[in-house]
């Protein structure tokens, strides 16, 4: 038995081999290492060091250089982000405690991308096992201070990942179960709505909608092949309209008390001001924009702290009628940011924003491809695409997000590789073997 991960995926469309592959166990256990963490110039996880060990093993594979070439543009942009952060910290004379945290976060994030890319796409089962492990880690690893909002800070995300992975796992055995993915996501969405996990509720509904569209198009192969960018944009516009309808349904249900008194109070608090509900829950973005205007090229530094912006944050909330300012921001004086995109721009300058702007379009390309071909991993790709699309503009990049986001990037590039796209430029390959679309093939 070989104890090296698969170099070539055997038997496209066949059932998994009966022989035990220890790398599947490694793929499952790897994300669970994020449950062990400690403070050392910031919050470090066992996964950070497990990633280094995995990378050292993977670079010894004979095809490692070729695989790294597939994501070299992403790594180039990541390098620019790091360069922007270093230049900003040197210019701003950021304290060692803060710049070590800022530089380390980018470096270890890049390490995760490289290690996972060299490992997971080698075999479809590795990706599914990793998703299972990451889902469990997200559920078990909710911080104690957030247990009251556990469905927002881990339970919901973990549940969705496990659902997506379980549906993909059954494909070689029960292909028909994949047809029920939209209904499974919809059932999960109802649960998430009752738990007042608004963003996860919306993600589940949208992921289910993408699965429904893709599965419907599969029944009409000729129509499926005719999907072009213009038609896809039309689908996006319909999706945006559907999202607005979902927001309206939630608003009516929350305001009427159908979702419970706690949800009603939260909705009233966040919608009582002169800003939309989306910004009512994330007013930090308003301050981030002002901070970016003040320093658009070089940012404010790693873990940037400036009382001017925290006072401004408090003032804006009061002016707009938004209640409950966040005490932790007021105490630390850190510039408020609630977004991968805005947070990186505030701290590292324009080069941090360029990295996330590029990746913001990655889910769009992935969704475009999965509705044009029959992909066995449709549920996992759909949910990953939706979650990354949400997180880049609306979620802070901190703590374990560097692991979940690295996995999302790998999964979506994996989907593009399966569709015959070049990961370096997000355009179709002109050469290379034709990939069969109706077989249950991995991304190689």
Can you give 171-187 as a three-state secondary structure string?
Answer: CCCCHHHHHHHHHHHHH
Q: Are residues 328 and 380 in the same domain?
A: no
pLDDT for res 421: 64
Residue 321 is assigned to a structural domain of this protein: yes
Q: Are residues 31 and 152 in the same domain?
A: yes
Residue 206 is assigned to a structural domain of this protein: no
Under-50 pLDDT residues of the chain: 1-3, 7-17, 271-278, 280-281, 425, 427-428, 430-444
pLDDT for res 256: 62
Residue 164 is assigned to a structural domain of this protein: yes
Q: Are residues 46 and 147 in the same domain?
A: yes
Q: What is the pLDDT of residues 347-403, one digit of tens each?
A: 999 999 999 999 999 999 999 988 888 888 899 999 999 999 999 998 888 778 889
Nearest to 101 by CA among 89, 112, 83, 116: 89
Q: Are residues 30 and 141 in the same domain?
A: yes
Q: Is 37 helix (H, G, I), strand (E, B) or coil?
A: strand
Q: Are residues 28 and 153 in the same domain?
A: yes
Residue 440 is assigned to a structural domain of this protein: no
Nearest to 371 by CA among 161, 213, 138, 174: 213
Residue 369 is assigned to a structural domain of this protein: no
CA-to-CA dists, residue 413 to 48, 54, 64, 278, angstroms:
22, 19, 16, 29
Residue 29 is assigned to a structural domain of this protein: yes
Q: Count Cβ atoms below 10 Å from residue 360 Cβ, excluding itself.
A: 16
Number of domains in the chain: 2
Q: Are residues 350 and 379 in the same domain?
A: no
Q: Determine the Cα angle at 347 with ends 31 and 44, to 5°.
A: 30
Residue-number span of the structural domain to which 137 is assigned:
23-171+374-385+400-428
Q: Are residues 347 and 416 in the same domain?
A: no
Q: Are residues 31 and 166 in the same domain?
A: yes
Q: Is 432 left (phi over 0), alpha (psi -120 to 50) or beta?
A: left
Tokens of 185: 């996501």
Residue 101 is assigned to a structural domain of this protein: yes
pTM: 0.84
Q: Are residues 411 and 313 in the same domain?
A: no
Q: Are residues 34 and 154 in the same domain?
A: yes
58 near 119, Cβ under 8 Å?
yes
pLDDT for res 76: 95
């Amino acid at each position: 038995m070989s104890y090296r991960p698969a170099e070539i995926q055997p038997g496209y469309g066949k059932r998994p081999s009966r022989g035990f592959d220890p790398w599947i166990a490694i793929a499952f256990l790897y994300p669970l290492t994020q449950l062990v963490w400690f403070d050392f110039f910031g919050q470090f996880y066992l996964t950070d060091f497990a990633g280094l060990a995995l990378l050292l093993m993977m670079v010894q594979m004979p095809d490692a250089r070729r695989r790294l070439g597939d994501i070299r543009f992403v790594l180039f942009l990541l390098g620019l982000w790091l360069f922007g952060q270093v230049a900003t910290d040197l210019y701003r004379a950021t304290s060692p405690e803060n710049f070590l945290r800022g530089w380390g976060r980018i470096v270890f994030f890049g390490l995760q991308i490289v290690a996972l890319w060299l490992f997971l796409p080698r075999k479809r089962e590795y990706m599914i096992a990793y998703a299972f492990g990451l889902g469990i880690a997200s559920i078990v690893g909710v911080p104690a201070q957030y247990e009251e909002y556990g469905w927002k800070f881990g339970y919901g995300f973990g549940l969705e990942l496990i659902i997506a992975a379980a549906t993909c796992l059954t494909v070689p055995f029960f292909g028909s179960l994949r047809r029920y993915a939209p209904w499974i996501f919809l059932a999960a969405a109802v649960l998430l709505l009752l738990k007042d996990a608004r963003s996860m509720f919306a993600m589940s509904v949208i992921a289910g909608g993408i699965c429904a569209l893709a599965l419907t198009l599969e029944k009409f192969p000729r129509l499926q092949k005719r999907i072009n960018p213009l038609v896809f944009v039309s689908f996006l516009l319909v999706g945006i309209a559907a999202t607005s309808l979902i927001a309206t349904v939630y608003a009516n249900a929350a305001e009427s008390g159908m979702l419970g008194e706690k949800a009603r109070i939260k909705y009233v608090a966040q919608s009582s001001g002169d800003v939309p509900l989306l910004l009512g829950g994330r007013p930090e973005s308003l301050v981030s924009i002002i901070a970016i205007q003040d320093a658009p090229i070089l940012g404010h530094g790693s873990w940037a702290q400036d009382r001017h912006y925290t006072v401004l944050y408090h003032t804006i909330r009061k002016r707009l009628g938004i209640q409950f300012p966040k005490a932790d921001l007021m105490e630390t004086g850190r510039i408020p940011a609630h977004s991968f995109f805005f947070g990186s721009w505030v701290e590292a300058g324009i080069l941090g924003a360029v990295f996330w702007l590029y990746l913001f379009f990655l889910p769009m390309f992935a969704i475009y491809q999965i509705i044009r071909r029959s992909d066995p991993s449709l549920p996992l790709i759909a949910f990953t695409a939706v979650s990354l699309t949400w997180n880049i503009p609306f979620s802070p990049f901190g703590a374990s997000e560097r692991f979940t986001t690295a996995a999302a990037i790998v999964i979506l590039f994996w989907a593009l590789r399966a569709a015959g796209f070049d990961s370096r430029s997000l355009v179709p390959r002109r050469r290379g073997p034709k990939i069969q679309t109706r077989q249950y093939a991995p991304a190689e």
